[in-house]
Structure 1
Amino acid sequence: MSRISPVTGHYVTFEVDGLEYKVFYLENGTGQPLVCQHTAGCHNHQWRGLLEDEEIASRYRIIAYDLPRHGKSDPPENTEWWKEEYRLTADHYCAFIVALCDALDLRDPIFMGCSFGGNVALQLALRHPDRFGGILAVEGADHSPGFYLDWWQHPHANAAQVCASGVWDLMAPQSPEADRWKTWFYYTQGSEAFKGDLYFYSVDHDLRGRLGEIDTDRCPLVMLTGEYDYLTTPADSARTAAAIGNCTFIEMKDIGHFPMSENYPLFRRYLLQALQAVERRKPVPV
């Protein structure tokens, strides 16, 4: 018996910093937009469990996009992008996400990003608190140094295998084997962009000394980090959350750096807690 998923895919075209992008996104559900950013070097397949979650889709319009150069989103259309090394910066990353939300005419969206998406979530909380109805930073921290490395694209190595194998032990051993292998497989497909993403993650992103500027009264912020994440440890995220006024931190037991794809049923429990926390703290319109 065949089953057709309720998830649909679309392209939207818009400009960011003078560059034209044709961006692919998946969506399902109705209600407040929940905009989901995948991890570095990956794509929106990571969010399939959430996209097909009937209960959450009954309350939220879930949107999971492919960042340019990832998945089904091409590099910019109006420049010779192949002549420059790709290095993602915080300025461009934040501008892209806001432009995407504007292009889709999203009102009061909740943003959720994981890993380098969790780090940009903190950047958005600082830079654009009035554009979002809430922010969920998954596996994020104020600073994540040490992972912008040449060997992600070393000519003596199979870059796809290196990138995929480099994420294997970031997952919890309790996570289902099939889902861990799917996450590994996703990373075999995104190796070309991985190093450039990590430029943002480990070099350009640094909010040390600025966390006190994040105003959670204007935009509720929840941080979630898996017990088995050694890139951004629970201690790193807890330290970051403690420096932000009225920020909720949730440590996720028995899960690692890719919670939405390595073990969605477990991640779901924590996500519901986070969404409830945002709902409780939603600012009252003036």
Structure 2
Amino acid sequence: MPITRKSSAISKRWPNAMAFDLSDWIGRAAADRVFAWHCRGLSLRLVLRSTQGTCGLLLSDVPRPLEVEDLEQPDILIEGPQEAFDRVGQADPPPGSHSFGALLRHDTGLAISADPLPQAQALAALERLIELARPEAPYFEGHGFAHDATSVLGGRRVLRRAGGQEALIHWIETGEGPPVVFLHTAGADSRQYLHQLADTELQGKYRMMAFDLPWHGLSSGENGCETTADYRLTEAAYLEWVCAFISETAGEPVVLAGCSMGATMALTVTARHPELIRGCIALEAPMAAPGRRSDLLTDARIADSQHNPAYVRAMLGPACPQRQRDEACAIYAQARPGIYMGDLAYYSEEYDGARIAGLLRDSARPLALLTGSYDYSASPDNTRSLCRAVASETLWFAEMPGLGHFPMIEDPTGFRPHFMNALRYIERMQP
């Protein structure tokens, strides 16, 4: 394998860092069946260049190391000091070095050069490449709590918005007690909360429900329209669907829990309709989240069922079980075309925490905010900005070490203590 070696250097900035062999990394990728699957149909030269040497990989139906003469003509180039590559190879890399998407958005010392289209076409392979940099861990070791998914049942009913629009809404439900309603993220569906609903301890304390917005999961589109060509979610429509579900399906005030886009709406419902809310649990809630929409999410030259899951894989915690990482991304592989992009119109362009901060403070409802340390769409500091704006005595915030943007599905066991703390806080704050 062509690589020019120089004297080794161990990073002193990150105590856990080890000298990271780029040629071994390339070899692992070339032999990995998942990486090869994501490379099908490509013909792109990927080059890694550090202060210790250079090596490369042809992304193709049969990935292979590049010959020496091909190293000077990369389609995708990742370059920087050896210590920056060392951090990527850690079992617990610092936030920013944990995924290809994070490397693009953080100053880690690594520079990435590529045209946007081939980079997007190869995004699934590039995210898998970063996964392969870390020491291999068991695929899955079971849930660390009593778990019974067979008790989670589905339901359907026709709901109507205030403007008369209707849809056949699907939801999953289990348990008995005060109702908890979960709101899924942009482009996803209620399956993201299966493991919370399957938690037998929670089943004994709460009636838990998670529903699919129109055009998501097993819900129909609005008014018999099943095309998504012009889909664009608005705050007004989203607010009406959530209020309708709470009023007609839950039938009483709820603990409203949501993640990302769902967190922003959980906060919005709490701010504008506090009479429907016992408490709010907002996971990965930003003050604002600009820049998440990308035309590449709906570009016909890109396989969206590979690209879009990779777009979100970048925001997962690196130490989360691989099975759960794959499960989180599989939901995005099955979404209707254009839905993720349309949801981001609300989340990334319309939502603004500053507009509801005062209303949240005035609502006097208990607010529990949780954010993963590896999230860069709604980073912990972003959530802290929202907390400062709300400035409510009924607000509680905690950062979740090791978790990313989808904590409830990327690591249900690791997320569980944080969620339990949030529920206990909500109950403690009841009059």
1:130 Cα shift? 1.7
Whether the aligned pair in 2 keeps the contact of 1:227 and 1:234 (CA below 8 Å) is yes
**Match status 1:77 vs 2:223:** yes
- Give the 5 Å matches for 1:1-286: 5-16=150-161, 17-78=163-224, 80=225, 82=227, 85-192=230-337, 193-208=339-354, 210-215=356-361, 218-244=364-390, 245-246=392-393, 247-282=395-430, 284=431
Question: In structure 2, what residue type is equivalent to 1:178?
Answer: R
Question: In structure 2, what residue type is equivalent to 1:6?
Answer: S
* Residues matched between the structures, number: 280
Mapped to 1, the partners of 2:158 and 2:278 lie a distance apart of: 24
Mapped to 1, the partners of 2:411 and 2:314 lie a distance apart of: 14
1:105 Cα shift? 4.3
Q: What do residues 126-169 of structure 1 show as CA deviations (whole Å, max 9, x unaligned)? A: 11112110111110122111112211101110112111110112
Q: What do residues 29-74 of structure 1 show as CA deviations (whole Å, max 9, x unaligned)? A: 0001110111111111111111110101111101011111111001
Question: In structure 2, what residue type is equivalent to 1:11?
Answer: R
Question: In structure 1, what residue type is equivalent to 2:182?
Answer: C
List runs of 5+ in structure 1 lacking aligned partners: none
Q: What do residues 198-251 of structure 1 show as CA deviations (whole Å, max 9, x unaligned)? A: 001111111325412313653211111001101100000011112211211111
Mapped to 2, the partners of 1:122 and 1:99 lie a distance apart of: 16
Match of 2:56 in 1: none
List runs of 5+ in structure 2 lacking aligned partners: 1-147
Mapped to 1, the partners of 2:216 and 2:378 lie a distance apart of: 23
Mapped to 1, the partners of 2:249 and 2:149 lie a distance apart of: 25
Q: The residue matched to 1:67 in structure 2 has which SS? A: coil
Whether the aligned pair in 2 keeps the contact of 1:19 and 1:76 (CA below 8 Å) is yes
Structure 1 residues 267 and 4, CA gap change in structure 2 (3 angstroms)? closer
Mapped to 2, the partners of 1:278 and 1:21 lie a distance apart of: 32
TM-score by length of 2: 0.63
Whether the aligned pair in 2 keeps the contact of 1:160 and 1:191 (CA below 8 Å) is no
1:4 Cα shift? 7.3
Q: The residue matched to 1:243 in structure 2 has which SS? A: helix
Structure 1 residues 4 and 268, CA gap change in structure 2 (3 angstroms)? closer
Mapped to 2, the partners of 1:147 and 1:263 lie a distance apart of: 23
Bigger shift: residues 80-89 or 31-40 = 80-89
1:12 Cα shift? 1.2
Q: Which has the larger radius of gyration?
A: 2
Structure 1 residues 265 and 240, CA gap change in structure 2 (3 angstroms)? same
CA RMSD of aligned residues (A): 1.6
TM-score by length of 1: 0.93
| Aligned-pair identity (%) | 31
Greater relative contact order structure (CA < 8 Å, 6+ sep): 1
Whether the aligned pair in 1 keeps the contact of 2:232 and 2:342 (CA below 8 Å) is yes
Mapped to 2, the partners of 1:220 and 1:125 lie a distance apart of: 9
Mapped to 2, the partners of 1:5 and 1:22 lie a distance apart of: 23
